[in-house]
Structure 1
Amino acid sequence: MVRSFASSPLPAYERGVELGRAHAADVARTTRRYADLFARRGEPGFDAHAWAARFREVVGDTEPDALAEIRGIAAGAGLDELDVMAVDARTEILAKADPYGQRECSAVLVAPPEGPAFGVQTWDWYAEMADGWFRWRIPRPDGSWIETVTEYGLLGKIGVSSRGVGVLLTILHHEADAGDDVGYPVHLLARRILERCASADEAVELCCSTPVAASTSLTVMDPAGGATVELFPGGPGVLRPSEGLLVRTNHFVTTAGAPGCLVGEDYPTTFIRRDHLDTTLRARPPRAPADVVSAMTHHHPDGGVCRHGSEAGETATLATVSITTEPPGLDVLAGGPCQGVVQTYPRA
């Protein structure tokens, strides 16, 4: 089941309060799960709250509305502000706790020679968090909107805007992630792209000008095409589609990021998934998101695109998300691509 929430056209803090009140139990559960995860992944005495406080300063300086919305969610749900901030900086805090961390998710950008670009992503994460995400529509007073598939308390992840700008996200790991510096959280950067950028080129420029503290591959698109920005402290690297196709998994491929990549041959699934998708989709170029979803219905003993972990600590594909840029829209399948039927929402 895909759970969804549509905000009212409110200012940032009030929008956060509205979501926090409506989903107080869900936000609280998410904060508890991440507090447990930070403790498991970090050394004894690892202080996630201290890191959250440092990231809060960066967010407040960079995007005050984002911090206001986080504060609103916390107030609405009756939670400590730093607990919600820790969720919004969870990629960065997990990298500080354990820079090797979890390595999943596959994303595909298709930029056909004729027709608008589109993208598909599997979101793979801990199986016990399967009930911790939702589809969120955020309207603006001027009639514009953004939609994102994200976790309760987290301002954004995979998404699309009414301008036809889309964002996909896959985690990376770089040796620079373990440093003491802080930067703008990558999930909040994805949300910022959806709110501020009118094109993929603007999104690439925003990514390249934003200091980060953890590695992530953000794939951005608009009707004319797109690119991947491999973010890492000291980066980034930029990758463009080749013959209309760009496949991203969990290892660096740009010359800027590859030398510091912490994912090697000891973790074969990232290479298996990328090779499978690249080979399959080049042999039969996809004409629509459904073609990519079909190619993602891939299982392999060493880690396929479609993940089916069920025990605590195992990874599973929690959602399969398709994005179209013209008309702009977002389709969500609960679970992996092999589940069969995409739940489609009306496009505006």
Structure 2
Amino acid sequence: MANERYPRIRTGGDALERGRQYGETARDRISRTVHLYSDVFARDAELDWETARELALQFIDPIRAVSRVYVDELQGIADGAGLTLGDIAAINVRSELKIGAMARRAREQGEKGPPEGCTTLGVTPSASLSSHTLLAQNWDWYEECADTVVVLEVEQEDGPNYVTVVEAGLLAKTGLNSNGVGIVTNLLASGWDKGAVGIPYHVSLRSLMDASGAADALARLQTSVRSSSATYMVGAESGLAFVAEGVPGDYSSLFLTFPNDQGFLAHTNHFTSAEFKGKDAGRWGIPSSPFRLERARRLMSAREGNATPGSLQHVLRDHCGDRSVSICAHPAHDAARLDRYMTVASVVMDTDSRSVWLAEGAPCENSFDHLDYSEFLKAKRPAKILERRPA
């Protein structure tokens, strides 16, 4: 591994071999991921680790129906890390197990969900100084995740290369591929989140890393039955960009929004589409969400027509005078271990130049390093064909 706080891990070969290389190289960090979610599931979902593994394995057949490649990658990670497929499946369905249980308790007992989420930004060519498509995200999650994050650089034989900033052992999160497709994302929670078996959130994100363009990215979200609520913000070198807010279900459970008249997108952890008519647990359970969204929109509007990677970094550093609801998140000083949320990573991407800027931790305290992937993500490659079965 390199000396960066968040190690850069490059893998290649077939799916099983890529997974094995990932698991072997990130073995220690994957062990920390497993330890963290063992404690999270016990507290938030009332699940011991053995039960969590058994529940997670129920998702394997739906994943295989979409693409055997993703199951092979999971198995390879397990083999390389010296763990079982159940262990790796459990951390890859952490959202379904955790958020599903917390959403149920919110419905039944009035308990709130996690106090933090993420802030995502998108800029289309008409709004950027370079006429490029830009994406950005503050990933707000457990403070302990700072000891699990890796930058995974994947060279595929049968699909596009991609780079993703992700918790060790998970397939994908925020990322950019060699077809010029970028993805940033937000946690959502709705009245329909029950942890039902289907395609997990992080497997959907992995599928988007194989997209050939914005339209193919949307098709990938539409052609499988998703297990949990989430926002997928997609931007492409073509200049196309959209936000898909999804609840558990098929294509009829996706709600689309497009860039505003200024060419911007912004999202946090509640539903914004007028088409959504259900119970929005995120708006109630993550009280910072509407404040962060309004602040992000205001800061983005001030850069109409001349947004740059630097101006997006400025937005991601913002505290708005009140750190309890700020875009740049910090843990409360008196919070218990599993209630300490912070901006674990801050990412800006230029889909056209294949550049990534990464702050390893809160961006107000950590500089953005420029990661030049112009060579690694240079060659455009056909997208993997999904098993597109009727939902």
TM range (shorter): over 0.9
Shift of 1:186: 1.5
Equivalent residues in 2 for 1:107-256 (5 A)? 107-113=120-126, 115-141=131-157, 144-178=160-194, 181-195=196-210, 197-223=211-237, 224-234=239-249, 235-243=253-261, 244-256=263-275
How high is the TM-score relative to the length of structure 2? Answer: 0.84
Matched, 1:101 2:113: yes
**Equivalents in 2 of 1:331, 1:222: separation in Å?**
17
Amino acid at match of 2:198: G
Amino acid at match of 2:54: A
Runs of 4+ in 1 over 4 A off after TM superposition: none
Shift of 1:266: 6.4
Equivalent residues in 2 for 1:1-348 (5 A)? 1-43=4-46, 47-99=51-103, 101-102=113-114, 103-113=116-126, 115-141=131-157, 144-178=160-194, 181-195=196-210, 197-223=211-237, 224-234=239-249, 235-243=253-261, 244-264=263-283, 267-285=286-304, 286-299=306-319, 300-309=322-331, 312=337, 313-347=339-373, 348=375
**Equivalents in 2 of 1:87, 1:184: separation in Å?**
14
**8 Å CA contact retained: 2:100, 2:194:** yes
RMSD of aligned alpha carbons: 2.0
Against the structure 1 CA distance between its residues 125 and 7, is the aligned structure 2 distance closer, same or farther, given a 3 Å change threshold? Answer: same
**8 Å CA contact retained: 2:20, 2:77:** yes
Q: Which runs of 5+ in 2 are unaligned?
A: 104-111, 376-391
**8 Å CA contact retained: 1:201, 1:226:** no
Shift of 1:137: 0.6
**Equivalents in 2 of 1:127, 1:89: separation in Å?**
19
Shift of 1:143: 9.4
Against the structure 1 CA distance between its residues 292 and 10, is the aligned structure 2 distance closer, same or farther, given a 3 Å change threshold? Answer: same
**Equivalents in 1 of 2:47, 2:361: separation in Å?**
34
Shift of 1:272: 0.6
Deviations 1:124-145 (A, max 9, x none): 1011221110111111347951
Shift of 1:187: 1.2
**Equivalents in 1 of 2:84, 2:113: separation in Å?**
26
**8 Å CA contact retained: 1:38, 1:97:** no
Against the structure 1 CA distance between its residues 266 and 331, is the aligned structure 2 distance closer, same or farther, given a 3 Å change threshold? Answer: closer
**8 Å CA contact retained: 2:38, 2:48:** no
Identity %: 27
**Equivalents in 2 of 1:213, 1:267: separation in Å?**
20
Between the two proteins, the alignment pairs up a number of residues equal to 346
**8 Å CA contact retained: 2:11, 2:22:** no
Shift of 1:90: 1.1
